[in-house]
Amino acid sequence: MAADSTKAILFALGANSGIAVTKFGAAFYTGSGAMLAEAIHSVADAANQLLLLLGMRQAKRPETEEHPLGQQRVVYFWAMMVAILLFFVGGLFSIYEGYHRLTASEPLRNAFVALIVLGIAIVLEMVSLWGALREIRKVQAGRTFWRWFRETRQSELMVVAGEDIAALGGLVFAFVAVLLAMWTGNPLFDALGSIAVGVLLIIVALTITWEIKAMIVGESAEPALRRAIEDHIKARPEVEQVMRIITLQWGDRVIVAVRAKMAPMTSATALIAAINTVEASLQAAFPAAHWVFFEPDQVAAHGN
């Protein structure tokens, strides 16, 4: 079953939009730096989800002479923009706000209100994360979350999951910081909470950026899919020996290039028909394999 990234993004967009409005009101009402940092973070997250939706829409543009393989890889660009926004708007701003509170600390006002808002936000963020994890479980195939995160080629779903985890962690940090500041009367905890939120966001942003970079440079299909494609081709009676298979993830599509020694054929026409049969069977078994390039060859010592 395929994961629906759009559902996960809409879950997150709805949750973060509502959370951002509530947090801003609570930040101004209580004077909490950690709460303001969380409000900015939620605005950045909502903007990020809009960018992901824009990227998914642009990826559906038809193939043209200038873009003969389509524009599916544009989702990687927008995912990278999301990671950059998460780093600068979310992470660095939160650290700056925390530093500002350290040098010019102000006592919290009505901290109990901030705790209520943060508690509600934690529940809403858990709902958003649940929506992302529900879609991830459809394609997780028994892998741990971290292994799925490293192997997945669905950049938009990976970004949403990373954002949700960072948001939930940040909310917990902010809740603890405000709670300690209220109990002790020391605004230092509120400032430290804002800095902790910023550090968490930067770590998540850098992790996402590293994974997206690999996709932009050019990654193969997921390991399990790559093995399945190779096994399928090897099992075809028309193919005597597979010499090389290359897969390249292209958004939600896969490019497959095959060099193989074909079974003996009576004519060039029969060879072409056999290749077409193999390609058709491959695309029927793996709909994501939108392009298949097949090169018949003889066994040679070189590995090109």
- The 10 Å CB-count burial string (b at 16+, else e) for 191-210 is bbbbbbbbbbbbebbebbbe
* CATH for 5-217, options being 1.20.1260.10, 1.10.1130.10, 1.10.10.10, 1.20.1510.10: 1.20.1510.10
Nearest to 30 by CA among 193, 230, 269: 193
Q: Summarize the confidence of residues 155-166 as an average pLDDT.
A: 88
Contact 290, 256 (CB under 8 A): no
Across 189-203, 218-232, 243-257, least confident range: 189-203
Looking at residue 18, its pLDDT comes to 82
Average pLDDT, the chain: 86
Across 94-98, 149-153, 202-206, least confident range: 94-98
Residues of the chain with CATH 3.30.70.1350: 223-296
Tokens of 144: 């741990």
- The 10 Å CB-count burial string (b at 16+, else e) for 13-28 is bbbbbebbebbbebbe
Answer whether residue 280 shows pLDDT above 90: yes
Q: Summarize the confidence of residues 264-274 as an average pLDDT.
A: 92
Answer whether residue 304 shows pLDDT above 60: no
Answer whether residue 214 shows pLDDT above 60: yes
Nearest to 162 by CA among 38, 281, 8, 31: 8
Whole-number Å distance between alpha carbons of 132 and 111: 31
Q: Summarize the confidence of residues 235-249 as an average pLDDT.
A: 94
Name the more confident of 174 and 231. 231
CA distances from 196 to 118, 166, 205 (A): 16, 11, 14
Tokens of 285: 């078994």
- Please provide residue 290's backbone torsions phi and psi, each rounded to the nearest 5 degrees: -75, -30
- Name the pLDDT band for 12 (thresholds 50, 70, 90): confident
Looking at residue 1, its pLDDT comes to 47
- Name the pLDDT band for 183 (thresholds 50, 70, 90): confident
Q: What percentage of the chain's residues is helix, strand, coil (to nearest 5)?
A: 70, 10, 20
CA angle (191, 184, 199) in 5-degree steps: 25
- Name the pLDDT band for 95 (thresholds 50, 70, 90): confident
Across 87-101, 106-120, 121-135, least confident range: 106-120
- Please provide residue 252's backbone torsions phi and psi, each rounded to the nearest 5 degrees: -95, 10
Q: Summarize the confidence of residues 200-224 as an average pLDDT.
A: 91
Whole-number Å distance between alpha carbons of 211 and 153: 9
Looking at residue 106, its pLDDT comes to 64
Residues of the chain with CATH 1.20.1510.10: 5-217
Q: What is the pairing mode between strands 239-250 and 253-262? A: antiparallel
- Name the pLDDT band for 105 (thresholds 50, 70, 90): low
Answer whether residue 255 shows pLDDT above 50: yes
Just give the CATH number of 223-296.
3.30.70.1350
